[in-house]
Amino acid sequence: MPVLVEDEKDVVHNSKSSPRKNRLKSHSRGFSRWAGYLFIAPAIIYLAIFLLVPFARGIQLSFTDSVLVNPSGGSFVGIENYANLVTSARFWNSLGATLTYTATTVFFSMFVGTTTAILVNRKFRGRTIVRAILTFPYAMPSVAVTLVFIWIYNQSGGILNRTTGALGLGEVGWLTDPSFGMFSVVATTVWKVFPFVMLVMLAALQSVPEELFEAARVDGADSLSTFRSIVLPHLMPTIRVVALLMTIWSIRRFEIIFLLTGGGPVEKTNTLVINIYQRAFSEQQLGAAAAIAVLGLILSLAVTVVFFLAERRENVKEGTS
């Protein structure tokens, strides 16, 4: 019996239908064509109102001298805000702090998160409890975490300096010494976000087929070889996705840095986002702040584009090998 494809079925069916049924069918097809758009319309409208319009307004503000207390009263100043930024040492310092913070946070949270995931993926007694405990930092509100760390870092009475004091290492200005400010902020952030990396990596590890491990055992592969040849290739796509997300989130992170140091000591942790806040709210220069926001957006976009280009190149390479 010949098999009819869907279109052929329609033709056969339509040839036997009445004109009224054909009209109904035609209406139904018209609806089907627009149904998809109708279903996504609420989401598109929502995004347009709460995201795209404010976003476009932000870009427009960056070309004005608007101030916080009169956001609509600014006049067009062309690229003046951008020109001021690129000649400002404060902006470049801010960009440097953002890159340092992002690179170190992403590296250490990926390293700690992945290592922890591999460790807790092994079978041992109390594994579930250990996993739950390790997830706590991610579940805790950032503000609460930061307040706890402010006490830990306190120079005169903090537990960290009590420990260094007892060990004869003296006191360290964890949040007040320019040499330690960035370290303290990164350490707090890594403590807060590494469980996210751990959870995602754990899920990826559990998706590695057991047969591959068995085959490796049969072939006499040691732990390192098994990790390098089986585990790592399976983890790589996940590592890339998580690294991208961590990078974008790090560029945008505000609350931990703001509450710990407010951008200090001596602007060592004054990232772009903190700079935007200071310009927009403390100094009330909404136009200048919007210009920094736009440059920050370009930075995020650049990271993403570089990531996707690298990804595509790798895919092409894998496809040809």
Partner 1 sequence: MISSTSRRMMAVAAAFAITTAGLSACSTSADADAKSATEGGTLVFSNWQWLEPGRGEVMWEAVNGYVTDNPKAELVKSETAFAQYADKLNTQLGAGSGPDVFVIGDSQFVTLAEAGLLEPLNSSVSGVKLNASNDSMVLEGDQLGVTWDQVSYALLGNKIVMEQAGLTQMPTTVDELIAASKAIEANGADGFAVRHQMNDFGGWYFDFQAWPYGQGGAWSDGEKLTIDSPANVKGVSEFKRVMEAGIVPIGDDASTFRTKFKENQLGFTIDNSGAAASFASGGKLTGADILSAPLPFPFSGQNEHLILAVNANSKNKELAKNFVSWVVSESGQSALRPSMGASTMATNIPLEQEFETANPWAATYLENGSKSRSVLIPGFETETVPIMRIIMQAVERVIAEGQDPQAALSQAQQEAEAAN
- Interface residue list for partner 1 (CB under 8 A): 50-52, 54-55, 57-58, 61, 67-73, 153-158, 173-178, 237-238, 240-241, 244-245, 248-249, 251-252, 258-267, 276, 278, 280-284, 286, 289-290, 293, 296-297, 300-301, 304, 307-308, 311, 314-315, 318-319
**What is d(CA 27, CA 103) in angstroms, rounded to the nearest whole number?**
56
**What is d(CA 13, CA 15) in angstroms, rounded to the nearest whole number?**
6
Q: How far is the CB of 127 from partner 1 (least distance, A)?
A: 27
Residue 175, classed as helix, strand or coil, is coil
**What is d(CA 280, CA 274) in angstroms, rounded to the nearest whole number?**
10
User: Which of 198, 242 has the CB closer to partner 1?
Assistant: 242
288 DSSP 8-state letter = H
Instruction: Please return the burial class of 183, using the count of CB atoms within 10 Å of its CB with bins 0-12, 13-18 and 19+.
Output: middle
Q: How far is the CB of 104 from partner 1 (least distance, A)?
A: 19
Q: How far is the CB of 207 from partner 1 (least distance, A)?
A: 11
Q: How far is the CB of 174 from partner 1 (least distance, A)?
A: 8
Q: How far is the CB of 14 from partner 1 (least distance, A)?
A: 36
User: Which of 71, 137 has the CB closer to partner 1?
Assistant: 71
**What is d(CA 286, CA 279) in angstroms, rounded to the nearest whole number?**
7
User: Which of 26, 282 has the CB closer to partner 1?
Assistant: 282
User: Which of 17, 93 has the CB closer to partner 1?
Assistant: 93
User: Which of 174, 191 has the CB closer to partner 1?
Assistant: 174
Cα of first residue to Cα of last residue in the chain, in angstroms, is: 44
Q: How far is the CB of 205 from partner 1 (least distance, A)?
A: 15
Sign of CA dihedral 256, 260, 262, 265: negative
**What is d(CA 314, CA 312) in angstroms, rounded to the nearest whole number?**
5
* C-beta of residue 190 within 8 angstroms of C-beta of residue 101: no
User: Which of 8, 283 has the CB closer to partner 1?
Assistant: 283
